[in-house]
Amino acid sequence: MRKYCVMFAGQSVQEEGMCRELWKLKPAREILERLKPSLGEDLEYITTGMPADQLALTFNAQRAIHAHHLGHWFAFKALHPELELDGAIGHSMGVVAALVAAEAMSVEDSGAFIRARAQAFYDICKGFSEPMGLAAVSTDFLEDAVARIESVPGVSLALHNTIGRGTAGGRMADLEALASKIEQEGWSIKLKILRVEGPYHTAAFSPCKPALAKALERVAIQAPRVPVFMGSSGKAETEPARIRELLVRQADALERHFEAVWAAYDHGCRHFLEVAHKPQPVKWIPDQLQDEDGNVLADTTALALETAQLDSPLPL
């Protein structure tokens, strides 16, 4: 029987109506109802009918995404009691769902922390005196391009997702200056400005760390039953105190998702699974786990299941 490393996406996967079908599934609805007291009584509305422009706001997006993650995960588990895990990975805020899947955090505590996180991030965004944001970056080898990207004052790498893709953050004016420099100097880098509320995972969000630490004082964290590969460190994490530290650090730390996936592979994970409205990080596996010649590692599989496929048989 295969064991799977389950994956959860970060902010940006929100979409109008993303949980419309999920609320119709009994095991998913039970979880979503359990999340209402912490995530808000408007949870069904934000996950089924809230317009896209409102859903894009950090406070709404993070709450909706977390509900989406846990609704899908518990519905899938109910349909596949034979499922065994050998790890869990969360991209950015998805790590909280990964901790729930690894049984390190309860559904209720996870909702309380995500609510506090969403509020803290939203408060930071409201306080910006000028437009700030993120830009998707793609090149052959991202590690070789970091120095160039960060040569523009105020710009820093925020997320490292695959061999050649990541995200830079900073003031919009600085990101636009980076785009101009790329074009003028002919760098082999493509950059696309993302219209988001703020440059997550950069120093701009350092002020919200005390709020995250305070919220975690009321959250119980146990040793996970399987390792959780956290982007804040890019490593397997199993110690509750260390997990707490990394959940706070995540606010302004580079998200080392690429390293986290490799840490999972080095730990022995070979089969990666994501169940979601529209799976995302599991589809990056071919652009992450490659040999020195750029060939996808033959012993890995990536299984992406959408809502309508929750009852699909698992490969044995």
- Answer yes or no: is pLDDT of 1 > 90: no
Q: Measuring CA to CA, which residue among 88, 92, 122, 82 is closest to residue 104?
A: 88
159-201 pLDDT, tens per residue? 999 999 999 999 999 999 999 999 999 999 999 999 789 999 9
What percentage of the chain has pLDDT greater than the value 70? 100
Contacting residues for 285 by C-beta, under 8 A, at least 6 apart: 261, 272, 296, 300, 302
Distance set, CA 38 to CA 29, 196, 284 (Å): 15, 24, 32
Residue 74 CB coordination number (10 Å): 21
**What residues form DSSP beta bridges with 88?**
6, 228
Fill in the amino acid letter for 234. Answer: G
Segment (H or E) for 183: helix 172-185
Mean pLDDT in the chain?
Answer: 96
The domain segmentation of the chain, as residue ranges, is 4-126+203-309, 132-194
CATH fold of 4-126+203-309 reads Malonyl-Coenzyme A Acyl Carrier Protein; domain 2 (3.40.366)
What pLDDT shows up at residue 18? 96
- How far, in Å, CA of 29 to CA of 32, rounded? 5
Residue 183 CB coordination number (10 Å): 11
Segment (H or E) for 97: helix 95-101
CATH architecture of structural domain 132-194? 2-Layer Sandwich (3.30)
Q: Are 269 and 238 in contact (CB under 8 A)?
A: no
What pLDDT shows up at residue 195? 78
Three-state SS sequence of 219-238 = CCCCCCCCCEEECCCCEEEC
Q: Measuring CA to CA, which residue among 73, 59, 55 is closest to residue 9?
A: 73
What pLDDT shows up at residue 221? 98
Q: Provide the whole-model pTM.
A: 0.97
- Answer yes or no: is pLDDT of 252 > 80: yes
Region 38-64 average pLDDT: 96
Backbone angles phi, psi at 275, to 5 degrees: -120, 120
What percentage of the chain has pLDDT greater than the value 90? 97
150-161 pLDDT, tens per residue? 999 999 999 999
109-126 pLDDT, tens per residue? 999 999 999 999 999 999
Q: Are 265 and 289 in contact (CB under 8 A)?
A: yes
pLDDT band of 316, cuts 50, 70, 90: confident
Would you give the end-to-end CA distance of the chain in angstroms? Answer: 5
- Answer yes or no: is pLDDT of 26 > 90: yes
